Structure 1
């Protein structure tokens, strides 16, 4: 009898310990990271935009924090995602550009760390890292850039699956299906990768014409002549010269031309009929006007903005669906939600679209975060943070040790009672020397200045006083009176290159022009 009692007591203790362990595990926060593509902070209400309303992204900001000074380490799609996953700069994670890089999935990532700690892990939507995801319990990804209409998905079993519908809606549908069928005894980390708002800015049929009554004011530097900025002079990303009437703006000269466009060929009859009913009258009106010169450029700008913002509308709406799902399933109070774009984007500033630059509209990215009980609702942060910081932040929140080779920093100490001191400067390096003819470059941004070294396509230095010249129009490098400031910034830049072990930049830095 005594033996039986001892055994019974031991079993009860073990069961209570297991129950406590499961309970403890469930107290660890779930994590949802939503990554959009090319979504400009200038188009988000939480950043003061008057271009459109983004109630769902704004909701995350209102219930948490808006990072007013969030930046990326390399402003282009694939490298940004590799940095988010690994917490490392491109020179360390190996994915430097979209033209020659493939992600080495064998390396460590915050996903692998969370999974080892008992988290369910999933990535759904745009991946764009050229190799299959590793370290996930589940993934379902768009091949390459993916398609807006009736998108294909690469599946874990090696098959390809086409799903009817509009990409932003479909990605959310797949997301909710995974959430419905997951193991609810474990905390989860889910990354939702949206295709929107990537070129060619193709709206959902329900959003066609949403902004047609709006005339958007031209950015003050729309007709920038790029004086004393040699790299900006040789780029190929202007609305005037680079934006394509058919491919980008759906102004097809014939049915034959339209039928050759891949985005159109994917549409079913109902979708194509809606598109034709909307765009063809616009094309006929354009043809009747016979616009040229600045008048045509400004017309292209208005069309670009209307399509881009309409595409962003569906993105925001589906972010709202994610938030509503968390509410409806009583997950919101124990789930961190982070929304960010893979980089910033140009909405006509300097006459441009696209990204790539260390200049502000490209370098700076939207980032908002909700963490109930840890981040006070309505917080506005002016600390420098980077996409590099996502990995250590979520590991910190989950109580998982941050690997020593991660180069980012947890953002959570910025919200502690005894607030941590943020960064004084941030480092950037863009490598790609191809599409849009943007010269590779690296540089440093401090709270007042920005110092840039361009190389390969253009060899030059640039210096900006962001206090007096926030639009980065006046290159001060080499100008009289700035010698001491320049020398100090060069010392800071050299230290940052050493800190992040960027050997390529170190060699270029030491090479005189």
Structure 2
């Protein structure tokens, strides 16, 4: 070891003390902190991102895939509450619904006074903006600029609320959101790093593609998921008594068996009718029944849904091109995610809500040049609640103590934290409307899911072994061979509930507008 004389040591310490503030100032210069582009879609299933290699090969998404090739693809990014508004509140706060107070889409309203990561970034010198779907009831706070869809928004010529003023925007909603996002980037204060949250409506129900994407699949007959005709045997009342099947729940609006939508231009209406009318006439003449009818609905659904995804993928391409053209790509973190997963015919379903894989898991891709090695695939249990602390750390801003997510920065750097979560807590509340999925909570590990459904007419436990039953078709809770697993997982579930400060009983408002005891039968 080199011995430093005491006098020299004191001089070095003094010099470092003098230099330290200057070094910190350099580290915090706007140009030294990464820009952040967060692209968030709505109900985008990982099965419809080609980087995730679904066996059905449903759609090619080259622009979203580019983020996987140039960054990291997370294969187990889970959501804490699989429904639109609650997921958005969790992204902003890094907290579960029972902490941030946004439980459901029915009657929850986001408290704009809450601390959010955009507010903290804005306070640290970032220029912040959110464009597109907001769906949180209150106006955005913590943003220098905001331009959002009212409520769910509509697909064609959507009204948008810009800084409190509502005006109609001409065009297809995904294109409009992209245009507004790019306009903000072009006119931003270039002396500051930026956070832009570009949040799409697509591919949310009722899955209305841009007219240019009608017929994109050339009347392809899509491969069917093995569980398209699931009869829910091997599971309980909760799975059987729901209202989200392609067979029974999809209506004529969903399936485009009605007149063309409002707000189309004459040329767009002509193209719409030219695509749908002859196919609808052929469908009516065929008078399909049973499995053949379900197959027709499934294929119409996928045409429309995937057409919406094509628009989102094009938007990602436009955003990435802007970063390239402006020389910003190397200085910008780009995140692509959806607010939750979605069913594309698995178990005969559409929609989300469940703790099961297609609903629970969202696509999650991160590109951060100089930090994330290109082409990585990561299997850690991560979540969208991790976004807030991750982006704050990347910007050099401390996360609040009440944030429940964990920063992904070490994982993004390629490290393997020894203290990373081995289990994940899930909660769902909204019931009985609109899809009659019973409230439930549970614990998820790399192999198992332990779930408890709880309504006045049902108090039931289920256990799924993903290793032996990856499609989650058999509840093995009562199998004596799993008694040890059940005991261990119940202990872990209680630990998570305690650590996450989950109340013993959620407030009545968590479930929606109707009294819970009036919802024991499917409406």
TM-score (norm 1): 0.91
Deviation at 1:22, TM superposition (A): 9.8
Alignment-derived partner of residue 235 in structure 1? 242
1:172-215 alpha-carbon deviations (Å, 9 max, x no partner): 00001001111000000010010110001111111100113321
Structure-2 separation of matches of 1:473 and 1:493: 22
Structure-2 separation of matches of 1:415 and 1:202: 36
Structure-2 separation of matches of 1:504 and 1:314: 43
Structure-2 separation of matches of 1:178 and 1:22: 26
Alignment-derived partner of residue 3 in structure 1? none
Matched, 1:443 2:442: yes
Alignment-derived partner of residue 27 in structure 1? 32
- 2:49 pairs, out of 44, 49, 52, with 44
Deviation at 1:229, TM superposition (A): 2.1
Structure-2 separation of matches of 1:458 and 1:299: 34
Structure-2 separation of matches of 1:72 and 1:469: 21
Deviation at 1:288, TM superposition (A): 1.4
Structure-2 separation of matches of 1:387 and 1:238: 27
Alignment-derived partner of residue 154 in structure 1? 161
SS of 1:436 mapped into structure 2: coil
SS of 2:82 mapped into structure 1: coil
Alignment-derived partner of residue 479 in structure 2? 479
Alignment-derived partner of residue 340 in structure 1? 337
Deviation at 1:120, TM superposition (A): 0.4
Deviation at 1:148, TM superposition (A): 0.7
Paired residues in the alignment total 481
SS of 1:189 mapped into structure 2: strand
SS of 1:221 mapped into structure 2: coil
Deviation at 1:23, TM superposition (A): 8.0
SS of 1:153 mapped into structure 2: strand
| Equivalent residues of 1:494, 1:506 under 8 A apart | no
Q: 1:502 to 1:56 in 2, by over 3 A?
A: same
Alignment-derived partner of residue 142 in structure 1? 149
Structure-1 separation of matches of 2:504 and 2:314: 42
| Equivalent residues of 1:22, 1:185 under 8 A apart | no
Alignment-derived partner of residue 195 in structure 1? 201
Deviation at 1:449, TM superposition (A): 0.7
- 1:279 pairs, out of 276, 279, 297, with 276
Structure-2 separation of matches of 1:217 and 1:394: 39
Structure-1 separation of matches of 2:358 and 2:277: 32
Structure-1 separation of matches of 2:103 and 2:118: 20
Alignment-derived partner of residue 269 in structure 1? 266
Alignment-derived partner of residue 4 in structure 1? none
Alignment-derived partner of residue 64 in structure 1? 71
Unmatched 5+ stretches in structure 1: 1-16, 253-257, 509-513
Structure-2 separation of matches of 1:416 and 1:211: 39
- 1:370 pairs, out of 367, 372, 377, with 367
Alignment-derived partner of residue 393 in structure 1? 390
Moved more, 385-394 or 207-216: 207-216
**C-alpha RMSD over aligned residues:** 1.8
Q: 1:479 to 1:239 in 2, by over 3 A?
A: same
Structure-2 separation of matches of 1:236 and 1:506: 24
Deviation at 1:83, TM superposition (A): 0.1
1:260-291 alpha-carbon deviations (Å, 9 max, x no partner): xxxx1222222222111110011111111111
Runs of 4 or more above 4 Å deviation: 20-23, 505-508
Q: 1:430 to 1:112 in 2, by over 3 A?
A: same
SS of 1:81 mapped into structure 2: helix
Q: 1:22 to 1:462 in 2, by over 3 A?
A: closer
Structure-1 separation of matches of 2:43 and 2:458: 25
What is the 5 A alignment of 1:117-266?
117-156=124-163, 158-227=164-233, 228-245=235-252, 247-252=253-258, 258=259, 264-266=261-263
SS of 2:40 mapped into structure 1: strand
Moved more, 20-29 or 442-451: 20-29
Deviation at 1:417, TM superposition (A): 5.8
Structure-1 separation of matches of 2:192 and 2:76: 34
- 1:54 pairs, out of 34, 53, 61, with 61
Structure-1 separation of matches of 2:135 and 2:85: 6
- 1:294 pairs, out of 285, 291, 295, with 291
| Equivalent residues of 2:372, 2:414 under 8 A apart | no
Q: 1:295 to 1:275 in 2, by over 3 A?
A: same
Matched, 1:429 2:427: yes
Q: 1:22 to 1:394 in 2, by over 3 A?
A: closer
Structure-2 separation of matches of 1:417 and 1:241: 46
Deviation at 1:507, TM superposition (A): 11
What is the 5 A alignment of 1:299-338?
299-338=296-335
Structure-1 separation of matches of 2:37 and 2:221: 36
Alignment-derived partner of residue 81 in structure 1? 88
1:406-459 alpha-carbon deviations (Å, 9 max, x no partner): 000000111336531332111100110021100010000111110001111632
1:81-116 alpha-carbon deviations (Å, 9 max, x no partner): 000000000000000000110000100000111001
1:143-196 alpha-carbon deviations (Å, 9 max, x no partner): 01111100110121x321111100111110000100111100000001001011
Structure-2 separation of matches of 1:60 and 1:41: 14
Deviation at 1:321, TM superposition (A): 0.4
SS of 2:291 mapped into structure 1: helix
